[in-house]
A and B are shown apart, each in its own frame.
Chain A
Amino acid sequence: MLVELGIITTVLALVLAWYAVLAGLYGAQTRRDRWVLSARNAALLTWPLLTVASLALIISQINGDFQIEYVWSTTERAADLFFKITALWGGQAGSLLFWSWLMSTFAAGALILNWRSERRLMPYVIVFSMATLGFFLILNVLVESPFARFWQTANGEVVTAVFQPVGTFPAIPQDGRGLNPLLRHPGMVIHPPTLYLGYVGMVIPWAFAMAALASGELSTSWIRATRRWTLVAWLFLSLGLILGGRWAYDVLGWGGYWGWDPVENAALLPWLTGTAFLHSVMIQEKKGMLKVWNMALVIISFILVILGTFSTRSGIVSSVHSFAQSPIGPPMFVFLALASVVSIGLWLYRWQRGELASEHHLEGWLSRESLFILNNMVFMAITVAVFWGSYAPIFTELFIGEKITLGPPYFNSVTAPLFGALFILMGLAPLSAWGHTSLSRMGRAMLWPFLAAVGLVAILLIFGMRDVGALLAFGLAGFAGFVTLYEIWRGVKARAQREAWAVAAWKLFGRNRRRYGGYLIHLGVVVIGIGVIGSTIFQQETQRTLAEGQSLTLGRYTMIYDRLERAQATDGRVMTIANVEVYDGSQLVAVLRPRQDFFPNAQDMNTMTIAGSYSTIENDFYVLLVAWEEISQASATFKVYLNPLVNLVWWGGLLLMLGTAVAAWPDQDRQRQRVTRRIEAGEHGSPART
């Protein structure tokens, strides 16, 4: 019964989504508001329908209805309730349903929250968001249904079909295959949904942008809604990237958190263009410039989201995380192509008609605008480099006939200077003014932060750091960080004349959320940057086979191998656990239990190496159990990493989240009033009024 309910609700949602597209289009074209309202109601209805469909699948997972192929392939009887629920996104078909549900949640959110304020854009927002949802629902219903079931034919063959084929009877397996072992980790439970939230979130800004393009309603109003939704998507993308890194660090067992893998890059690409947009959109808000470009960035971010989904799920780029080759490749490609051609076509059309022209011109070579434009250039350069790094294998395979891999050596050497440039801009931009800044003014403003950065480099030199690249990197990150701290300090100091320091700080952040939230994000990025620099350049590793009681030393830590033990967990995994003692000098600081889990029932990836790690501010002592003497268990092989400053990556991530929350906190009213006032007052002199 549940299955039928799931099928019916998904199909209904599909029909309603496409009805909303057509009704919205018709209503917008003929200016009949009744149709627009009808389209809205249809769009809103997809949410309860998809909620029911998702719940139907989740309940089937909990009940262990293994006749459903998806339930069979992602759960098993012995699995914890928690993993039975999260199996919803443990495989292709279920995660597509989950994607659709999130998409409809976001669409409903946009329709409810922005209905009045962006009334003119709404018909087309419905059209474009529902077209995207409708497409994913086509995949769900026709290509990869999570409700497909096993049926047995008269001659004993088992077939998979959504509806019972004639002459068959249900085939119900005893037990399921269970979730992919790599996904049985709390990080992996949160990571995909946050990443999907980021992906799906990017659809809403795109829908607004497309609505603006389609309706010709290109005043700055679309940018308001878009900016906020982009910030939401950006928050989730950032969170997804950081959690993904944490998951890799804990579970993939290679001592790192970022491997420039095509799937990681697929999530990084829209993050990069989204970040560029969040900066350049300010120029449009302040100066009415860069309209063509901002529109392009929103469209590119959306296309990159769809491209990332397409390429990682269709098997055209191979990766650790890839879903196996699947039938959704061709339909996804069709959607990608349509979305790209329609978006870019509309954008070029409006551009050619001159409807996206700047209202202002650059006033000074050195200004907030010019620095933001440079910032955008650097972000785009990184985007191109990362894009090429991920997709070059396709080009070389097609045109030269040789498949290549571009790995960390490529990405690190190409992106490092660009990230360095970003740190410089991050230091300069907050000190610059809109319009025009003189060099001497900038020089005076950056004097103290600059001296502090020089001081930092000097201290590092004194402490014996001789790596030129590292010194430069720390210096630049330090400069950006000091500027941000200095700016915050100055803000607090100005207020502190009237009130206590703590109150001053609280109010400063509370009253200027966008500015100081942005500064917090900058600080977060600086902290992440320092963590990345430290753990990339100064990572140490060694591998040794130790007999019981033997030790190895790395950095200031000594590790003694105590013994090996075996255990079996409730989900059937066999764990081989090494007990090791970690000494800092002669002081016992930790007993670590690095382990290898073996999943006897799992299909392919059946072992998982879980590190034991002793974490301090300074570094992580990260131990992997690589191999052991099967019979005597007398000796075991360990791979040990010393990852300096790696914890700053996570802490910087938290700071970044906090900053985004501050910046996105709804206090849009005053902001909106100011912009409107300014435009109404003709402050920037729209020539149409002069």
Chain B
Amino acid sequence: MALGLVVMLLGASVVLAQGGGETTPPSVREVTADEVNAISSKLYCPVCENIPLDVCGTQACARWRAQVRTLLEGGASEDEVITYFVDQFGERVIGTPQNPTLNFLSWSVPIAGVVLGVVAVGVIFIRWRGQRGSAVRPAGESEEEATLDDDYRARLERELRSSK
């Protein structure tokens, strides 16, 4: 029956689902609290934003967890439960959006950020290295000196070598 409900909400054959619901008794599956929590942890309380459903203490949340249980008992899969909640309460009840556009948008920004960062660093490296020959190289600073620029470190290395 609950599965029928899901099907209906998905806009599938309404009449068939209702007929099915009345003739064959639904098979009720044993559902543990852990299963309910596992799915609820992926959902957010629809009215108190940013509180995962599994840890939300209000009465309304307890009812929504009961709804998760009912759907599971009716044989719905995890995805179906989540889809049901999204249809009912909107994209904001899950941690990453289901809608492909929104989903793409949410991941593309950080990825674009990383790519942009890599490009920027690459450009900076190349430009700074490119200026090496032409530009300011402190007079009298040899390659060796540059390497050992960090005087503390150089001293440390010397002392460690001398200890051998």
Chain A: residues with CB nearer than 8 A to chain B?
A: 252-255, 259, 261-262, 286, 318-320, 358-365, 368, 370, 373-374, 377-378, 380-381, 384-385, 388-389, 392-393, 395-396, 400, 402-410, 414, 418, 433-437, 490-491, 493-495, 497, 512, 515, 541-545, 607, 609, 637, 639, 683-685, 687, 690
Contacts and interface: CB of A to CB of B under 8 A. Distances in A.
27 contacts: A253-B57, A318-B49, A320-B50, A361-B137, A364-B146, A381-B110, A384-B117, A388-B109, A388-B110, A393-B92, A395-B105, A396-B97, A402-B90, A402-B97, A402-B99, A406-B95, A410-B96, A433-B148, A434-B149, A434-B150, A490-B160, A491-B156, A494-B160, A495-B159, A542-B33, A543-B33, A607-B57
Interface in B58-72: none
Given A370-B125, A396-B102, A685 B136 contact: yes
Interface string B10-33: 000000000000000000000001
Given A319-B49, A377-B120, A409-B96, A365 B110 contact: no
B69 to A, nearest CB: 12
B37 A435 contact: no
Contacts of A685: 136-139, 141
| Candidate in A319, A359, A685, A690 with the most chain B CB atoms within 10 angstroms | A685
B116 to A, nearest CB: 8
B94 interface: yes
B9 interface: no
A254 B34 contact: no
- What 6 pairs between A and B have smallest CB-CB spacing? A407-B95, A685-B138, A384-B113, A435-B146, A254-B55, A385-B110
Contacts of A494: 156, 159-160, 163
B102 A402 contact: yes
A433 B147 contact: yes
Nearest to A414: B110
B147 A493 contact: no
B159 to A, nearest CB: 4
B129 A365 contact: yes
A361 B137 CA distance: 8
Interface in B91-117: 91-97, 99, 101-102, 105-107, 109-110, 113-114, 117
A385 B128 contact: no
Contacts of B159: 494-495, 497
Contacts of B92: 393, 402-405
B121 A687 contact: no
Contacts of A414: 107, 110
A392 B55 contact: no
B136 A359 contact: yes
A497 B48 CA distance: 63
A405 B102 contact: no
A320 B57 CA distance: 13
A433 B150 contact: yes
A363 B138 contact: no
A528 to B, nearest CB: 22
B50 A362 contact: no
A521 B163 CA distance: 29
B121 A405 contact: no
B128 A362 contact: yes
A320 B141 CA distance: 58
A363 B121 CA distance: 15
B132 A404 contact: no
Contacts of A542: 33-34
A318 B50 contact: yes
A392 B118 contact: no
A434 B138 CA distance: 15
Nearest to B115: A381
A409 B132 contact: no
Contacts of A437: 147
Contact of A543 (B37, B51, B52, B120): B37
Nearest to A514: B152
A25 B128 CA distance: 38
Contacts of B128: 358, 361-362
Nearest to A396: B102
Nearest to B109: A388
Given A255-B55, A407-B96, A261 B106 contact: no
Contacts of B105: 392, 395-396
A381 B112 CA distance: 9
Contact of A253 (B55, B110, B146, B160): B55
A687 B136 contact: yes
Contacts of B109: 384-385, 388, 392
Nearest to A373: B121
B65 to A, nearest CB: 10
Nearest to B158: A494
Nearest to B97: A404
Contacts of A361: 128-129, 131-132, 135-137
Contacts of B120: 377
B150 A400 contact: no
A624 to B, nearest CB: 9
A607 B56 CA distance: 11
A318 B148 CA distance: 52
A377 B106 contact: no
Given A319-B50, A361-B136, A685-B141, A541 B37 contact: yes
Contacts of A515: 152
Contacts of A690: 139
A206 to B, nearest CB: 23
Interface in B33-88: 33-34, 37, 42, 44, 48-52, 54-55, 57
B154 to A, nearest CB: 8
A252 B54 CA distance: 13
B97 to A, nearest CB: 5
Contacts of A374: 121
A181 B142 CA distance: 66
Contacts of A380: 113, 117
A409 B95 contact: yes
Contacts of A406: 95-96, 106
A607 B150 CA distance: 57
Contact of A254 (B52, B107, B137, B143): B52
B95 to A, nearest CB: 3
A662 to B, nearest CB: 16
Contacts of B150: 368, 433-434
Contacts of B55: 252-255
A541 B110 contact: no
Given A405-B92, A494-B156, A363 B146 contact: yes
Contacts of B137: 361, 685
Contacts of B96: 406-407, 409-410
Nearest to A254: B55
A418 to B, nearest CB: 8
A389 B50 CA distance: 12
Given A320-B50, A360-B136, A493 B125 contact: no
Contacts of A381: 110, 113-114, 117
Contacts of B48: 320
A433 B149 contact: yes
Contact of A403 (B54, B91, B129, B132): B91
Nearest to A431: B153
A367 B153 CA distance: 14
B82 to A, nearest CB: 12
A320 B128 CA distance: 47
